[in-house]
Amino acid sequence: MNTAHRSGRLAATLLTAALAGTGLTVAAAPAAYAAASDAVVKLPISSYSAIAVDSVHQRVFVADSNTGYYLNKGTIAVYDFQGERVATLQTPAHVSGLALNADSSRLYAGLREQIQTYDTTTLEPALLTNASTDTCGRDLAFSGGQLYFTTPYSQYLGECPTAQTYLDGVVNGAYTRTGWNDSGKLQLEAGPGGRMLMGQPLNAKAADPFVTVYDTSGDSLVRNAARRFADSAGHGALNLKDMAFSADGSKVALADAAYGTRLLNTDDLSDTADAYPALPAGATASSVAFSGDGKYLARGAAATGATPDLLLQPADPTDATAPLEFVFEGSLDGDRVAPRGMEWSADGSRLFAVTTNAAGSQYWLHVIQPPAVQYDTAFTGGLTHSPSAAVAGEPLAVRGRLQWDGPDPAGPLKVTAVRQDADGTHQLGTATVKEDGTFTVLDEPDLVGESTYTVSFLGDLTHRPATDVTTTVTVGKAPSSITLTAPEEATMSGGVHITGTFAAQGKALPERATLTVKRTDRLGTGTLSSVTVAADGSFAVDDLPRARRDTTYTVAWAGDALHEGATASATVYVRR
């Protein structure tokens, strides 16, 4: 028996939904709780071709392609919904695609020259249908009450990516060649309402691959919408890794390694009006799957380090709910989601994801259960800021507290913040919420006047969002200063030499400050030549006084849009 282990490598991020309910409490020490559980098993396979989920009998089937040699046998590992292995089926030849019939009573497995059928209750072989030879690995789909499968053939394995592939089927119990064919290892995906997708991966013989929708309701396949993706200059071509129908069949999602997650309208394969957000930087799309209940979309990716490999989010692209993010890294998790490596249970209660290492030689099965409950959140106590007198160009800390109901999250919650001033709205990024609910948003306002700070908690798949909290801060000019060092006495012939230092807080001046200098003596007040402050803030004033007795020198800077002006004076007794 292969026992699953629990992985805690889950980080929950932000989302948007409607706030409801009250009775919130501030969480204290964190509890041992995860927003979504992730059971992981190491798969007994060294290659991978397909996954199929039987929600009737609660079984998960994972196929080991093993197409490296024509005499190779294949393996289908069978697990229950808790991640326990219940059987290992050995096929008489290498096994590639898997498909279940409509009532999950039969499992179909694509072999080298046959389609093997298994009884899903007993797991015994039930039927073997001959098919044309497949040397590269088939794909299977059960749609419209019929089984369809691809047949790629190449004399050499190295030519499989560009092999001529035929779309065949078992129609009314008889092996049928439909006549549809093209280069590359064509992919199939069954959908509701007698629909089936066929997609062409990017390959050397298909610079502009296609996706098309078939009507499978009759004995003959009828091609409906079709699309190629390159523009007139040949850019933007599809690099297909996976595809999926939405629960109602009205939408198609594509995992495009060149683009991310595309969302298309099924009727004409045009881009939908609303798209999904981009995958995190550094993540390349590898898999996509809608939950059967229509609630969730899973987006698998290949990524390194702390970049998420799996995002679990609402299926509705207009729902700004940000996803649960899973990072797979290392010998306990795999490193990335395998292409075409995800399937849901029919009720959406579990996602099954196959991950692989970077070399593609080891595989893991993850059993992920999205949370069924959301808890309420709220900001309490308003926002405070420090320092109390904010000035342009200097750090400002805005502080608050977020409360939440229910168990503590697996990872720290985050709030987002924006500043609105006379120049518009400025995104300030995210701030981490501490275990006691407190958070600090750091900013450096760069405009004098009123700045309004709005902090939001957009929620996650476990916590509802909180009503935004705001505060308005009056931002003043940053202070400046001038200090003077002057002699107590001087002579008219020897002159006066005064040194000084100028400093301006806040945002750095665009250029060196120019200071005005005035001299006041018994003959009146006059303006001397201005002085420019050096890079280190120093300056000097030199003058030949025109009269004896007390002479006062006043040095001033008028200030600018972000800085207060400054002035300083020094009095020197002048002798003949």
372, 399, 426 - which closes a domain: 372
Average pLDDT of the chain to the nearest whole number: 89
Residue 522: predicted pLDDT: 94
**What is the average pLDDT across 186-210?**
95
pLDDT score of 240 more than 90: yes
Residue 127: predicted pLDDT: 80
pLDDT score of 36 more than 70: no
Name the token pair of 310. 């799996």
Residues 359 and 428 in one domain: no
Instruction: Work out the pLDDT band at 382, boundaries 50, 70, 90.
Output: very high
319 domain residue, yes or no: yes
475, 494, 523 - which closes a domain: 475
CA-based nearest residue to 78, from 128, 109, 43, 30: 43
Residues 421 and 463 in one domain: yes
**What is the average pLDDT across 62-77?**
85
Instruction: Work out the pLDDT band at 408, boundaries 50, 70, 90.
Output: confident
pLDDT score of 56 more than 90: yes
150 domain residue, yes or no: no
Q: Count CB-CB contacts under 10 A for residue 460.
A: 31
Q: What is the 3-state secondary structure (H, E, C) of 297-340?
A: EEEEEECCCCCCCEEEEECCCCCCCCCEEECCCCCCCCCEEEEE
3-class secondary-structure state, position 162: helix
Residues 327 and 381 in one domain: no
Residue 115: predicted pLDDT: 94
Residues 364 and 295 in one domain: yes
Domain range for 303: 1-18+35-42+278-372
Residue 65: predicted pLDDT: 84
Instruction: Work out the pLDDT band at 29, boundaries 50, 70, 90.
Output: very low
Residues 462 and 384 in one domain: yes
Task: Check if the beta carbon of residue 109 is closer than 8 Å to that of residue 128.
Answer: no
Task: Check if the beta carbon of residue 72 is closer than 8 Å to that of residue 96.
Answer: no
Instruction: Work out the pLDDT band at 155, boundaries 50, 70, 90.
Output: confident
CA distances from 31 to 27, 352, 401, 408, 504 (A): 9, 26, 19, 6, 49
pLDDT score of 177 more than 50: yes
Distance CA 377, CA 461 (A): 12
Instruction: Work out the pLDDT band at 37, boundaries 50, 70, 90.
Output: low
| Chain segment 127-148, per-residue pLDDT in tens | 888 899 998 999 999 999 999 9
pLDDT score of 466 more than 60: yes
What's 41's DSSP letter?
E
Q: E strands along 13-113, which residues?
A: 37-42, 50-54, 59-64, 74-80, 85-91, 98-100, 106-110
Spatial neighbors of 171 by CB under 8 A, at least 6 apart, are 146, 219
| Chain segment 438-453, per-residue pLDDT in tens | 999 999 999 999 999 9
Domains identified in the chain, total number: 3
**What is the average pLDDT across 72-82?**
93
Distance CA 73, CA 115 (A): 14
**What is the average pLDDT across 334-349?**
95
546 domain residue, yes or no: yes
Q: Count CB-CB contacts under 10 A for residue 90.
A: 10
Residues 400 and 415 in one domain: yes
What's 488's DSSP letter?
S
CA distances from 324 to 123, 308, 332 (A): 35, 9, 19
Scan for tokens 């209660």, then name that residue: 349
pLDDT score of 436 more than 80: yes
170 domain residue, yes or no: no
Residue 531: predicted pLDDT: 97
CA-based nearest residue to 52, from 2, 99, 1: 99
Bigger pLDDT: 472 vs 26: 472
The alpha carbon torsion through 110, 111, 112, 115 (nearest 10 deg) reads: -70
CA-based nearest residue to 475, from 385, 569, 342: 385
Bigger pLDDT: 1 vs 414: 414
Q: Alpha-carbon torsion 200, 206, 212, 218, what sign?
A: negative
Distance CA 243, CA 343 (A): 11
Residue 35: predicted pLDDT: 37
328, 355, 372 - which closes a domain: 372
Residue 85: predicted pLDDT: 96
Bigger pLDDT: 320 vs 452: 452
pLDDT score of 470 more than 70: yes
3-class secondary-structure state, position 225: strand
435 domain residue, yes or no: yes
Lowest mean pLDDT, pick from 32-46, 60-74, 180-194: 32-46
CATH number at residue 416: 2.60.40.10
3-class secondary-structure state, position 161: helix
Residue type, 19: L
Bigger pLDDT: 31 vs 175: 175
Residue 3: predicted pLDDT: 37
Residue 319: predicted pLDDT: 86
Distance CA 97, CA 136 (A): 11
Distance CA 35, CA 459 (A): 12
122 domain residue, yes or no: no
pLDDT score of 195 more than 60: yes
Instruction: Work out the pLDDT band at 373, boundaries 50, 70, 90.
Output: low
**What is the average pLDDT across 282-291?**
97
Strand pairing report for 424-432 and 466-476:
unpaired
Spatial neighbors of 276 by CB under 8 A, at least 6 apart, are 253, 260, 261, 263, 297, 299, 313, 317
Task: Check if the beta carbon of residue 434 is closer than 8 Å to that of residue 399.
Answer: no
Q: E strands along 204-314, which residues?
A: 210-215, 222-228, 240-245, 251-256, 260-265, 284-290, 296-302, 310-314
**What is the average pLDDT across 384-396?**
95
Residues 490 and 565 in one domain: yes
pLDDT score of 472 more than 70: yes
**What is the average pLDDT across 459-470?**
84
Instruction: Work out the pLDDT band at 323, boundaries 50, 70, 90.
Output: confident
Distance CA 282, CA 285 (A): 10
Distance of CA 85 to the CA centre of its chain: 32
204 domain residue, yes or no: no
Task: Check if the beta carbon of residue 185 is closer than 8 Å to that of residue 160.
Answer: yes
Residues 294 and 337 in one domain: yes
407 domain residue, yes or no: yes
Instruction: Work out the pLDDT band at 2, boundaries 50, 70, 90.
Output: very low
3-class secondary-structure state, position 545: coil
Residues 440 and 458 in one domain: yes
Instruction: Work out the pLDDT band at 123, boundaries 50, 70, 90.
Output: very high
Distance of CA 345 to the CA centre of its chain: 24
Residues 438 and 509 in one domain: no
Residues 381 and 364 in one domain: no
pLDDT score of 8 more than 50: no
pLDDT score of 484 more than 80: yes
What percent of the chain has a predicted confidence (pLDDT) above 70? Answer: 92
Name the token pair of 522. 């018994």
pLDDT score of 18 more than 80: no
Instruction: Work out the pLDDT band at 10, boundaries 50, 70, 90.
Output: very low
| Chain segment 241-271, per-residue pLDDT in tens | 999 999 999 999 999 999 999 999 999 999 9
Residue 151: predicted pLDDT: 95
Residues 338 and 403 in one domain: no
Size of the chain, expressed as the number of residues it contains: 576
pLDDT score of 234 more than 90: no
Instruction: Work out the pLDDT band at 192, boundaries 50, 70, 90.
Output: very high
